[in-house]
């Protein structure tokens, strides 16, 4: 079924809301959207700066994106957040992205900007903030949303949400590992395009809270495209 565009006022701060039949259809649509925006950015500015998200729904999207034609030599890849684990650990977001996408396409290795989270949150965040400075405004950030309404590694009530540097250290995350690095709220909001990928019934409660005006971290991303599957919709909003 073709995706339906809903009124963006359904989610505060949303630029647009799209409903997809299931996670597979959502992933296909977002992969197509990434490829289109990459082509536009490269035509306009000669480069496409993309920050990748972690999680299962983005993984499906990356598996589909690798079948699209992108001018990969003009694509620079960043990460919205990373877990402070050893380099190469299977639980890192960059490991997932390599398995699902980067090992199957042809960006120059120098265009892949991993967060050096193995250095620890403070040192890694400072290093990544400097790297982001050379990129300038990101063209797109892909975002997921946790069942508690967190996005990237910005969790409800965590002091990292208020830090203004480009990348921030995160401590005491409510899910392991407790130590992480995340792009800051300011960096995420400054991106030219922000796309949420939200799938599954486990996300209903957080969406309901956002629709009621609760200021969860995901709700603080302004002018984002929200791509939802039907399973994630609050029951009263299923159409």
* CB hemisphere CA count around 117 (13 angstroms): 31
Tell whether 104 is covered by a domain: yes
Sign of the four-CA dihedral 195, 197, 201, 202: negative
Q: What is the CATH classification number for the domain harbouring 48?
A: 3.40.50.1360
Residue 174 lies in a domain: no
Q: Do residues 92 and 82 touch, judged by C-beta distance below 8 A?
A: yes
Using an 8 Å Cβ cutoff, are 143 and 149 in contact?
no
Domain count, the chain: 1
Whether 228 maps to a domain, the answer reads no
- With respect to residue 82, please indicate whether it lies within any of the assigned structural domains: yes
A 10 A CB-CB count for 79 gives: 27
Establish if 73 belongs to a structural domain.
Answer: yes
Per-residue model confidence as pLDDT tens for the chain (239 residues): 333 444 555 788 899 999 999 999 999 999 999 999 999 999 999 999 999 999 888 999 999 999 999 999 999 999 999 999 999 999 999 999 999 999 999 999 999 999 999 999 999 999 999 999 988 899 999 999 999 999 999 999 999 999 999 999 999 999 999 999 999 999 999 999 999 999 999 999 999 999 999 999 999 999 999 999 999 998 765 44
Distance, CA of 85 to CA of 73 (rounded, Å): 29
Q: Which range of residues forms the domain containing residue 89?
A: 44-137
Q: What share of the chain is helix, strand, coil (3-state, %, to 5)?
A: 45, 20, 35
Using DSSP's 3-state secondary structure scheme, residue 90 falls into coil
pTM, full prediction: 0.93
């Amino acid at each position: 079924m073709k995706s339906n565009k809903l009124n963006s006022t359904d989610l505060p701060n949303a630029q647009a809301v799209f409903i997809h039949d299931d996670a597979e259809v959502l992933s296909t649509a977002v992969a197509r959207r990434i490829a289109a925006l990459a082509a536009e950015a490269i035509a306009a500015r000669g480069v496409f700066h993309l920050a990748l998200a972690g999680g299962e729904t983005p993984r499906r999207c990356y598996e589909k994106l690798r079948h699209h034609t992108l001018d990969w030599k003009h694509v620079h890849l960043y990460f919205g957040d990373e877990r402070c684990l050893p380099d190469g650990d299977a639980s890192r977001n960059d490991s997932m992205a390599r398995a699902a996408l980067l090992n199957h396409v042809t960006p120059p290795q120098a265009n892949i900007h991993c967060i050096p989270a193995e250095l620890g949150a403070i040192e890694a965040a400072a290093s990544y903030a400097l790297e982001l400075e050379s990129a300038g405004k990101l063209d797109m950030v892909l975002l997921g949303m946790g069942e508690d309404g967190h996005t990237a590694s910005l969790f409800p009530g965590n002091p990292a949400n208020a830090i203004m540097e480009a990348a921030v250290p995160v401590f005491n995350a409510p899910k392991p590992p407790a130590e992480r690095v995340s792009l800051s709220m300011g960096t995420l909001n400054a991106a030219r395009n922000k796309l949420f990928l939200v799938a599954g019934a486990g996300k209903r409660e957080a969406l309901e809270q956002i629709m009621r005006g609760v200021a969860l971290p995901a709700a603080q991303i302004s002018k984002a495209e929200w791509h939802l599957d039907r399973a994630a919709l609050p029951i009263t909003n299923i159409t």
